[in-house]
Amino acid sequence: MPLRTWFARSEPQPGAPGFRAVAVSRAEWRELAQDVAATTGGWLAALWASESGGHEARIHAVYLVEHAGLAATLALDQEPYPALDELFPAAARMQRAVRDLSGIHSTGQDARPWLRHSAWPPNYRPLVEAKPALVGLPPVDDYAFIRVEGEGVHEIPVGPVHAGVIEPGHFRFSVVGEKVLRLEERLGYVHKGIERRFTEIPALEGHRLAARVSGDSAVAFSWAYCQAFEGLCSAVVSPRAQFLRALCLEIERIQNHLGDLGALGNDAGFAFGLAQFWRLKEEWVRAVEAALGQRYLLDVVVPGGVAVDLTAEAGRALAQRAARLAQEVRELREIYDAHAGVRDRFTGAGEVLPELARRLGLIGFAGRASGQHFDARVDLPSPPYDLLKLAKTVLRQGDVAARVAVRFEELLESCQLIGMLAGHLPAGNHRVELDPPVTETLAIGFIEGWRGPTLVALEAGPGGTVRRCHAHDPSWQNWPVLEHAIIGNIVPDFPLINKSFNLSYSGHDG
């Protein structure tokens, strides 16, 4: 069926602009996925299940296609539901997470647990049932890693416990000498029960929990939650609040790119880069605190707007600091580009060429470094990005060097946007008070965070409660790509390649 027919059948979806919703039958669930997969630029944005309070079980999928979003819902009258991982490889782990959390099975062949880690009984459904008696559980899962056979092949297990403050994740390398033949990840160690916790707090307070799904993406997640919440309330946020939200989002982008550029220099043996970029980051977060009262903006985006306003004086100071920052970043970029050792480590490492990136669904800045053009700020913009002239950077090399280059360009673009947003704040209120939503439909929030598209699907319940909230980090799509990026590289290059993606454990594990 042509995609225009699916959109003709659909209805407007509350929340993010450009999204529509369609209910599908069992056969149509698979047919729609095939149509999206066959479309240039079509990809699976998220997949989850909802079932609670006597409501029928449903499977949801959100697709991005032709600069529009389409949310498909399948009411389950029987299991298993048709799997999508043959069409969208990233769906495999999402389907496994659905089974772990809701007990709903797909036809996918990989039946291994993903999030459970023996933390609850195998037949328990954390999102549906009361808390079980945690007795008689095996100490660990017998997880069947895929083995690579052959002369001289051996395995190197890394993690799940890592040095320093790195979050836990297990990486199983199959190698010959130092050359990597295969990498298999096992994540889920940071599962915190966030999606269940959403159902235990008032909907008006959910933005605070959303901001803590992955702390480095607090603005993106809290904005996506508020966008969905406001969609359920049919609320209109003031232009001033929209500008302030975008300002906070670009602040968050700058913070993360500064930290990563320093860490990548350090992983390439260039400690000078680490020292300089972390100096810049510290100076930047101090400037943010002076302007908005927080170093990291965990509680700034709230339903109805933002929690704090920005004075004209503070806006000018922040814009001036962003301009000085941009100049120093340009100078450091010249140093990185001129350093032979850094160039040697970056160039060709962790290569993901455009065709593989498209097939695997690589998104965000890492996708744009591998020829994937989508950036929601341009292609599916939430106000005020529809008013801003934002330049996208898209490269095709797909290696560490390309991901570093995209970071540099996006950091500089964000500095420019800070000046534009802070210098042209519309007059008016920065926040309006909202009541809990009365409608109990599904709403979608969708914001381009620094790492990539951040999605929150929110279903309100009776009396201002949350029936279901699914928070989706772009790391769900990008973690599997890392397994391919390392193939053919040497083991010592893994920290560098891994950092060039800088994916979230916390946001992925939920």
Q: Residue ranges of the domains in the chain? A: 3-102, 213-469
Rounded to whole angstroms, the Cα distance separating 453 from 44 reads: 11
- 213-469 folds as Cytochrome-c3 Hydrogenase; chain B (1.10.645)
Q: What is the pLDDT of residue 122?
A: 81
Residue ranges of alpha helices (H) inside 234-311 are: 239-267, 271-292
Tell me how far CA of residue 162 lies from CA of 48, 157, 158, 185, 495, in angstroms: 30, 11, 8, 14, 12
Tell me how far CA of residue 337 lies from CA of 183, 220, 254, in angstroms: 30, 31, 20
Q: What is the pLDDT of residue 19?
A: 97
pLDDT tens over the chain, length 510 residues: 788 888 889 999 999 999 999 999 999 999 999 999 999 889 999 999 997 545 689 999 999 997 899 999 999 988 899 999 999 999 999 999 999 999 999 999 998 999 988 888 888 888 988 777 666 666 667 888 999 988 899 999 998 988 777 889 999 999 999 999 999 999 999 999 999 999 999 999 999 999 999 999 999 999 999 999 999 999 999 999 999 999 999 999 999 999 999 999 999 999 999 999 999 999 999 999 999 999 999 999 999 999 999 999 999 999 999 999 999 999 999 999 999 999 999 999 999 999 999 999 999 999 999 999 999 999 999 999 999 989 999 999 999 999 999 999 999 999 999 999 999 999 999 999 999 888 778 999 999 999 999 999 999 988 899 999 999 999 999 999 999 999 999 999 999 999 999 999 999 998
Looking only at the bridges linking them, the beta strands covering 170-176 and 453-460 are unpaired
CA-wise closest residue to 35 among 60, 70, 67: 70
Tell me: cis bond preceding 436? Omega within 30 of 0 counts.
Answer: no
Classified as helix, coil or strand, 4 is helix
Classified as helix, coil or strand, 23 is strand
Contact between 209 and 380 (Cβ < 8 Å)? no
Q: What is the pLDDT of residue 4?
A: 85
Residue ranges of alpha helices (H) inside 164-217 are: 194-198, 206-210
How is residue 236 written in tokens?
Answer: 């209109």
| Helix (H), strand (E) at residue 220 | helix 218-233
- 21 φ, ψ (degrees, to nearest 5): -130, 145
Helix, strand, coil: what percent of the chain each, to 5? 45, 15, 40
Q: How many residues does the chain have?
A: 510
Burial 352-365 (b: 16+ CB within 10 A, else e): bebebbbebbbbbb
Note whether 3-102 and 213-469 share their fold: no
Q: What is the pLDDT of residue 439?
A: 79
Q: What is the pLDDT of residue 139?
A: 67
Contact between 220 and 227 (Cβ < 8 Å)? no
The total of other beta-carbon atoms located within 10 Å of residue 105's CB is: 15
Q: What is the pLDDT of residue 165?
A: 79
- Would you give the distance in Å from CA 136 to the centre of its chain? 36
Rounded to whole angstroms, the Cα distance separating 454 from 16 reads: 11
CA-wise closest residue to 234 among 439, 90, 462: 439
CA-wise closest residue to 477 among 61, 88, 24: 88
Q: What is the pLDDT of residue 128?
A: 86
Q: Residues 124, 129, 134, 135: what is their CA dihedral angle, to the nearest 10 degrees? A: -70
Q: Residues 133, 135, 138, 144: what is their CA dihedral angle, to the nearest 10 degrees? A: -10
- In eight-state DSSP terms, residue 216 is G
Sign of the Cα pseudo-torsion (185, 117, 85, 71, in order): negative
DSSP for 85-130? TTT-TTHHHHHHHHHHHH---BS-S----SS-TTSS-TT--TTTSP
Q: CB-based contacts of 341: which residues, under 8 Å, 6+ apart?
A: 268, 269, 270
The total of other beta-carbon atoms located within 10 Å of residue 167's CB is: 15
- 179 φ, ψ (degrees, to nearest 5): -85, 130
CA-wise closest residue to 371 among 381, 360, 382: 360
Cα Rg, the chain, nearest whole Å: 22
- 3-102 folds as Beta Polymerase; domain 2 (3.30.460)
Rounded to whole angstroms, the Cα distance separating 171 from 160 reads: 7
Residue ranges of alpha helices (H) inside 373-474 are: 376-379, 400-423
**Predicted model pTM:** 0.96
Burial class from Cβ neighbours inside 10 Å (0-12, 13-18, 19+) for residue 147 reads exposed
